[in-house]
Amino acid sequence: MSLMLMLTLFLAACNSDANGDSDDSGDDTEDTSENTDSEGDSGEDASGEPQEGGTLNYAIDSEPEGILSPNFYGSATDFEVIQFGIDPLFEYDENLQIEPNLADWSTEDNKVFTFTFEEGVKWHNGDELTVEDWVFALETLADPDYTGPRYANVQTIEGAEAYHSGDADSISGIEVVSDYEVKVTFDKARVNNLLNVWSYPMNRSYWEGVEVADMQDSDKMRQGMMGTGPFKLTKVVPGESYQYEANEDYWKGAPKLDKVIVKVIDSKSVIGALENGDVDMVPVHPTLGKQVEEMENVDLRTYPGLSYYYLGFKFGKFDNEKKEVVEKNDKYADLKLRKAMYHAINRDEWIEAFFSGYGSKVNAPVPTNHWIAADQSELNDYAYDTEKAKSLLDEAGYKDVNDDGFREDPNGDEFVINLAHYASTNPTFESRAKALTQYWEEVGLKAELQMIESSLYYDKVEKDAEGIEVFFGGWSTGSDPDPSALWKSDQLWNYTRWVNEESDQLLDDALDIDKVGTDQEKRKEKYVEWQKLLNEQLPMLYIAELEEIYGVNKRVGGVEFDVSGSNSPHLWYIQN
């Protein structure tokens, strides 16, 4: 399921989705899409039945970085491009449970796993897929010269750290049994070893002669792609279009479509492109959803999302060498202040205004559609209540002492909330950020907004740059719900710099075989406890979770969605 796979890949990159979360920077780009008309699309008759052949035009409204490999990419838009040509070892069902795909597995102790590969699967160049291709991928990711963001997905394999540091010539925890069987030993038993391990092989002959350090910037990465998926990449116009042709030897059966063309279009062009039939399928921003709903030739398809927006507080600065928070910032340390800021926000109104209602409030850093989500009745709702907000501020000592209409801090000094938000050509971004500052000013908290170029934004957040105090962000949760990389006190991507021993312990316990075994419900109990803690302590304000939205031309059939994303594109077809 494509979205689930995308999310699963992101946590290793973490500020771009080890299996889990991604930032949402919402970049918009100029219209550089190739004007490629649908060719041979009609291969269809008046019956409305699935037709063999035809071209599907798939659009994205942000320019990809152009890294055409799941082993190296770091942006969601790159995944939108490469999804048609790749296949993972494992997939996820509508309940986010892992399933075999290219490989099956067995284990008795959650430390040693035996993986058995499908036989007869062919790469696009005709080579047969074997376990050696996966070993090659694991060794590439663990290589000292690897430049991508996936090392975390091999780091826990026994011997990977020694290989990564150059102290070993191979990864000791990998034992090839045959062309189709391999044993992998992890450094210790964990609940999520299977979910975390990297699941995309790399074709050895395709990369022959290319050093690991040179892979990411090579033409083989930027101008081509080698996969086992249902479509073969045949033409690349960087930043504009990516053309695929059907892989007739696809191991699950030949695709019904002849071609897929991925076009990069400007976000302002989405409505016109759908109306005119220039594109058949495109992710739709919620602000455009109502317009798409009214189109006669397009279906608006929605399904439960796994992403959420938040407002984070900076409680300090992080030293990445020491792996600890070394400077504390007490400006937002008062819990009553944070609660007041939360009660001041009319989240329902904000979601309706800026996401056209395609979302809902969320009260913890886990979307309600995920299997570990706490029941919302167990969490504080922090409903919009300006009087409650004012009362909390009074109790905390934030009062207007100079009659300028804004509250000073408990020491009588000027108090200003400095909010940072990423900038783009999308005008709603600044509007929605200003709306947040206005909510706070209505309860007497002066607020100033800093819009930062999206390409620089998360770098500044990660480096605790001056002026980053309260920051807007978004994450998407993947199949493995473990949020340790985003919340443990010793993690770089704990952007709030919140240090809490109870939180750290609960996250450790949720992965501890001795405490939760392989019982999913016991693991969920730990995560529910953790959500309750974060709902009480509010290291960030959890704002909204969104539905995923696609515009799909009515001539396209076979496309199905659930919480894990879409079904395989080899099942998509053109119909009358």
For the stretch 229-242, pLDDT in tens is 999 999 999 989 99
Helix (H) or strand (E) holding 276: helix 270-276
| CA–CA separation, 547 and 530 (whole Å) | 24
What is the residue-wise DSSP string for 63-113?
Answer: -------TTT--SHHHHHHHTTT---SEEE-TTS-EEESSEEEEESSSSEE
| pLDDT above 60 (res 550) | yes
Average pLDDT value for residue range 524-544: 98
Would you place residue 332 in the very low, low, confident or very high pLDDT band (cuts 50, 70, 90)? Answer: very high
**pLDDT(327) > 80:** yes
Q: Is the pLDDT score of 45 beyond 70? A: no
Q: Are 110 and 123 in contact (CB under 8 A)?
A: no
Q: What percent of the chain has pLDDT over 90?
A: 79
- What is the predicted pLDDT for the residue at 525? 97
List CB contacts of 212: < 8 A, sequence separation 6 or more.
140, 143, 145, 146, 147
Determine the pLDDT at residue 14: 35
Predicted confidence band of residue 48 (pLDDT cuts 50, 70, 90)? low
CA neighbor of 400 nearest in space, from 434, 438, 446, 436: 446
How far apart are alpha carbons 150 and 153 in whole angstroms?
Answer: 6
Residue range 170-181: mean pLDDT, rounded: 98
In 3D space, the residue among 127, 370, 379 whose CA is nearest the CA of residue 249 turns out to be: 127
Categorize the per-residue pLDDT at 485 as very low, low, confident or very high, splitting at 50, 70 and 90.
Answer: confident
Q: Which pLDDT score is estimated for 426? A: 75
pLDDT at 22 over 60: no
pLDDT at 345: 98
How far are the Cα atoms of 90, 173, 230 from residue 118, in angstroms, in the given order?
12, 22, 16
**Binning pLDDT at 50, 70 and 90, where does residue 323 land?**
confident
CA 49 to chain centre: 35
Residue 26 pLDDT > 90, yes or no? no
Compute the mean pLDDT over every residue in the chain, rounded to the nearest whole number: 90
Residue 14: which region, alpha, beta or left (left: phi > 0; alpha: psi -120 to 50)?
A: left
- How large is the average pLDDT for residues 356-365? 95
Rounded to an integer, the average pLDDT of 480-491 is 90
Confidence of residue 51 (pLDDT cuts 50, 70, 90): confident
- pLDDT per residue over 54-111, tens digit each? 999 999 988 888 999 999 997 788 999 999 999 999 999 988 889 999 999 999 999 9
